[in-house]
Amino acid sequence: MSRTNRSSRISRREFGVVLAAGAALPLSAATRSQAQSQPPDYVPPPRPLVAEVAPFSGKLEFTSKRIAPKVEAFPMSHVRLLPGTVFHDAQEWNRGYMSRLAPERLLYTFRANAGLPVGSGQPLGGWEQPENGKRSSELRGHFVGHFLSASALLYASTGATDVKARGDFMVAELAKCQQRLGGAYLSAFPPTWWDRLAAGQRVWAPFYTIHKVMAGMFDMYRLAGNTQALRVLEGMAAWADAWTASKTHDDMQRILAIEFGGIAETLYNLAAATSNDRWAIVGDRFQKEVFITPLALRRDELRGLHANTHIPQAIAAARRYEISSDTRFHDVADYFFQEVSGARSYVTGGTSNAEGWLSPPRQLASEWKASANTAECCCAYNMLKLSRHLYGWEPRAAYFDYYERLLLNHRIGTIRPHVGTTQYYLSLTPGVWKTFATEDQTFWCCTGTGIEEYAKLTDSIYWHDDDGVYVNLFIASELDWQERRFKLRQDTTYPESQHTAITVVEAGPRPLTIRLRVPGWLRSAPVVTLNGRSLDASAAPGSYLAITRTWKDGDRVEMELPMHLHMEAMPDDPRTQAFLYGPLVLAGDLGNDGLTAAHIVGPNLRVGAAGVEQHGSPLGPVNQTPPVPDLEIPTFRSTGSDVDSWIKVADQPMTFRTAGQKRDVTLIPLNRLFDKRYSVYWQVA
Ligand SMILES: [Zn+2]
């Protein structure tokens, strides 16, 4: 029976039920006022409900039609970090780590796979391990792709020609491997693994791995001008076209159950860069319908999914929207971002536990307890990337509140000071500690995204539209807007300091607007001065303060960013609380009882969780964490309505201490805490 027939003799009570069931259908203002103004015995005409249409039923058709972004990030080559900050330090520590990885070692498995001489270097270990008796990694080659991307990003960020030369050398050597393998296919593992993938047999993640190499080639072309890299990528894309074209639609959907990363995004990028729709059509074969369909319908069915397998798919959806204007993909990326950032992220901005989303949305206290492996670093890397796309479509300051939260708490502070190695998970379990990759025997996925992240800290500080510049991040740096002959310098040691200063170095010929992001965490509109005088204009936290004028060389805008202590509770448990100082998440120092060098470097805190696809290493026991003594985690009693009634500023900078508790604890920013056990969340009565 159709709903329309039934509605013709519907009772008033039933009508109310139908309205509730159709709550997703917005009532127009006219309809609403009519319903309210009718006499009580009025029976409204039937209101036919339209059946839900599956957004991705039928074959995907690609038509090239680019959107016009409202704002764009300045190219990294226009921005330079200034020394003396945690950001510049992180860039340099990462540069140091990359420089210690010899290209001969990175190329080893590719040359071996192509039957070329492997040279004198020793192969790398961990997830890059070649065949060696029982030990080998099926992900080998992934890190080499990241290394190409990181080389391109670091060259764009610094202009360092040695970094570009090393990347160029690797592209040339990998091109030789590709030629030896027939001129299209390129990887560090044998083609038989693709047969296993097609047959549904166990294999780690071959598309994930070659995507990294394809993305590396694209970045070497896009950011370092290497046209050989473009030709290598086109060969790989042609191979991917042939392989996927030989499969049915249903076969491909089954194959997409195995992690394939952001390969569609790279294919869309290639399509846009070469104006060749062929590559977008190949990219569309990597659209996983069971993932994107609920998102396009704005339904959170993320529970049980592997987190970092799917974030790159949302980025691919964002890119698909940008090059085709197909709003279904806009909705996929937009809803996914809102849900992960708003309902599935911990206080640091990090998401996932045991690499998955384990709970329904907003039940983070439950998910948090499931394992110690909260918040995979790759997820942070990829969520930052996704938020950039969404910000370009609609430049809301809130995106950069989120961005800053992740950047300050989950990226700065997960690179090992001076050494430059990085973390896998940023655990939020009470009593844990930070663990870092070994120099050359680890190569987690997060080691790969790590070397990219710290090579592109110049990205997204400054954005622009036709009117002027958006200052989104408070990082000491210089911007050279060559097209407008406008240069500025930002001086700050934020977040160590609570203040930033923008100096116009070259004013350019035309008036221009500078928009300063006023962070959402501020308690009130900040004091902003221009050349030492307070501005009349102000802006509320979570918006932009726009200053338009004909600038003069030496003009100086300063903004105060006063931080205060505040609390954030788990959404499903108000007694599980974390504390922040401004944008900085605080961690309690719980000493270093039981920690050895073996805990700090090398171990993998991976602990499985039921019901989640595992992406972690099959290398097994070599990565197990040594045991540590049990630790009693202090609990607190709140003695006032404000946090600062019982957490006090201590005598060291950026240091706090609880007061009047059974056992008092010193708190410092999580991003400054190393080689200690810590807690971020506490039980507060
Ligand atoms: Zn990872």
Encoding tokens for residue 539?
């802006």
For residues 533 and 548, what is the distance between their CA atoms, to the nearest angstrom? 16
Provide φ and ψ at 163, rounded to 5°: -65, -45
CA–centroid distance, residue 355 to ligand 1 (Å) = 8
pLDDT of residue 603: 66
CA 141 / ligand 1 centre spacing (Å): 15
Determine the pLDDT at residue 630. 86
- Distance of CA 563 from the midpoint of ligand 1 (Å): 32
pLDDT value at residue 640:
79
- Cα-to-centroid distance, 446 and ligand 1 (Å): 4
Is 382 in contact with 449 (CB distance < 8 Å)?
A: yes
pTM for this predicted structure: 0.91
SS (H, E, C) 474-518: CCCEEEEEHHHCEEEEEECCCCCCCEEEEEEEECCCCCEEEEEEE
Q: Tell how far the Cα of 423 is from the centroid of ligand 1, in angstroms.
A: 9
Please give the pLDDT value at position 19. 32
Q: Bin 587: left if φ > 0, else alpha if -120 < ψ < 50, else beta.
A: beta
Average pLDDT value for the chain: 91
Ligand 1 centroid, distance to 308 Cα (angstroms) = 7
Rounded-to-10 torsion of CA 531, 535, 539, 542: 20
Torsions phi, psi of 611, nearest 5?
A: 85, 5
616 C-alpha to ligand 1 centroid (Å): 9
Q: Around ion ligand 1, which residues have CB less than 5 A away? A: 376, 378, 445-446
Write the pLDDT tens digit of every residue in 550-574. 999 999 999 999 999 999 999 999 9
Give distance in angstroms: CA of 223 to centre of ligand 1. Answer: 24
Strands 666-669 and 656-658: antiparallel
Q: Find out whether the peptide bond into 495 is cis, omega within 30 degrees of 0.
A: yes
For ligand 1, the distance from its centroid to the CA atom of residue 52, given in whole angstroms, is: 37
- d(CA 629, ligand 1 centre) in Å: 27
Q: What is the C-alpha separation between 613 and 309, in angstroms, rounded?
A: 10
pLDDT of residue 431: 93
Question: Which residue ranges in the chain fall short of pLDDT 50?
Answer: 1-35, 605-623
Q: How much distance in Å is there from the Cα of 678 to the middle of ligand 1?
A: 22
d(CA 13, ligand 1 centre) in Å: 53
Quote the ligand 1 centre to 381 CA distance (angstroms). 9
Q: Compute, in angstroms, the gap from residue 313 CA to the centroid of ligand 1.
A: 15
| 315-360: pLDDT as tens digits | 999 999 999 999 999 999 999 999 999 999 999 999 999 999 999 9
By DSSP bridging, strand 468-471 and strand 512-518 are parallel
Identity at 260, one-letter amino acid code: F
> CA-CA distance, 130 to 109, in Å (whole number)?
6
3-state SS, one letter per residue, for 240-285: HHHHHHCCCHHHHHHHCCCCCCCHHHHHHHHHHHHCCHHHHHHHHC
Is the CB of residue 237 less than 8 Å from the CB of residue 218?
no
